[in-house]
Amino acid sequence: MDKPTALPEDETPALPAQKTPHPPRFWIIIVSLSLLAFISALDALIVSTALPKITEEIGGATQYVWIANSFVIASTVPQPMIGQLADIFGRKNAAALISGRSVQGAGAGGIYVLIDIVCCDLIALRDRGKYLGVINAWAAVAAAIGPVLGGAFARSNWRWIFYLNIPVCAIPLATLLIFMRMKTGTANTQKQFSKVSRIDYIGSIIFIPSLIALIFGLVAGGVEFPWSSWRIILPLVIGIVGWIGFHVYEHFIKYPSVPTRLFSNRTSAAAYLLAFLSSVLATALSYFLPIYFQGVLGATAFYSGVYIIPTAIGTLLFAVIAGVLLSHFGAYRPLHASAFALAIIGFGLFQLLYTWSPPVAWVFFQLIAAAGVGIPVSTCLPAIMAALPESDVASSTAMFSFVKTFGYVWGVTVPSILFNAVFNNGLPSIPSSDIQDQLRNGGSYAFASQISVLRDTLDPALLSQIQDLYTQSLRAIWWFGLGISALGFIVVFFERGLELSTELKTEYGLDGEKGSKRRQGKPQ
Q: Specify the pLDDT at position 59.
A: 55
Q: Which residues contact 358 (CB under 8 A, 6 or more apart)?
A: none
**Lowest-confidence pick of 17-26, 322-331, 342-351:** 17-26
| SS3 category, 124 | coil
Question: What is the DSSP code (8-state) at residue 292?
Answer: I
As a whole number of Å, the end-to-end CA separation of the chain is 34
Helix axis angle, 64-76 relative to 201-220, nearest 10°? Answer: 150
How many residues does this entry show for the chain? Answer: 524
| Residues 294 and 207 both lie in one domain | no
Examine residue 510 and state whether it is found in any structural domain, yes or no.
Answer: no
Averaged pLDDT, 296-318 = 84
- Please answer whether residues 286 and 308 qualify as being in contact, where contact means their C-beta atoms are separated by less than 8 angstroms: yes
Examine residue 399 and state whether it is found in any structural domain, yes or no.
Answer: yes
- Please answer whether residues 75 and 108 qualify as being in contact, where contact means their C-beta atoms are separated by less than 8 angstroms: yes
Averaged pLDDT, 219-224 = 76
Report the b/e string of 317-341 with b at 16+ CB within 10 A. Answer: bbbbbbbbbbbeebbbbebbbbbbb
Check residue 178 and give left, alpha or beta (phi > 0: left; psi -120 to 50: alpha). Answer: alpha
Q: Specify the pLDDT at position 320.
A: 85
Question: What is the DSSP code (8-state) at residue 207?
Answer: H
Ramachandran angles phi, psi of 315, nearest 5°: -60, -45
- Please answer whether residues 509 and 183 qualify as being in contact, where contact means their C-beta atoms are separated by less than 8 angstroms: yes
Averaged pLDDT, 30-36 = 80
User: Residue 464: which of 316, 298, 350, 303 has the closest Cα?
Assistant: 298
One-letter amino acid of 147: P
| Residues 224 and 328 both lie in one domain | no
Examine residue 279 and state whether it is found in any structural domain, yes or no.
Answer: yes
DSSP 54-74: HHHHH--GGGHHHHHHHHHHH
Examine residue 339 and state whether it is found in any structural domain, yes or no.
Answer: yes
| Residues 75 and 158 both lie in one domain | yes
Q: Specify the pLDDT at position 53.
A: 59
Q: Specify the pLDDT at position 19.
A: 58
Examine residue 298 and state whether it is found in any structural domain, yes or no.
Answer: yes
| Residues 389 and 379 both lie in one domain | yes
Domain boundary among 254, 287, 322: 254
Number of domains comprising the chain: 2
Q: What residues make up the domain containing 68?
A: 23-200+255-492
- Please answer whether residues 439 and 423 qualify as being in contact, where contact means their C-beta atoms are separated by less than 8 angstroms: yes
Tens digits of per-residue pLDDT, 267-299? 999 999 999 999 999 989 988 898 899 889 988
Residue of higher predicted confidence among 357 and 309: 357
Residue 517 has pLDDT above 70, yes or no: no
Tens digits of per-residue pLDDT, 72-84? 677 777 777 776 7
What's the pTM value of the predicted model, to 2 decimals? 0.78
| Residues 240 and 281 both lie in one domain | no
| SS3 category, 414 | helix
| Residues 419 and 477 both lie in one domain | yes
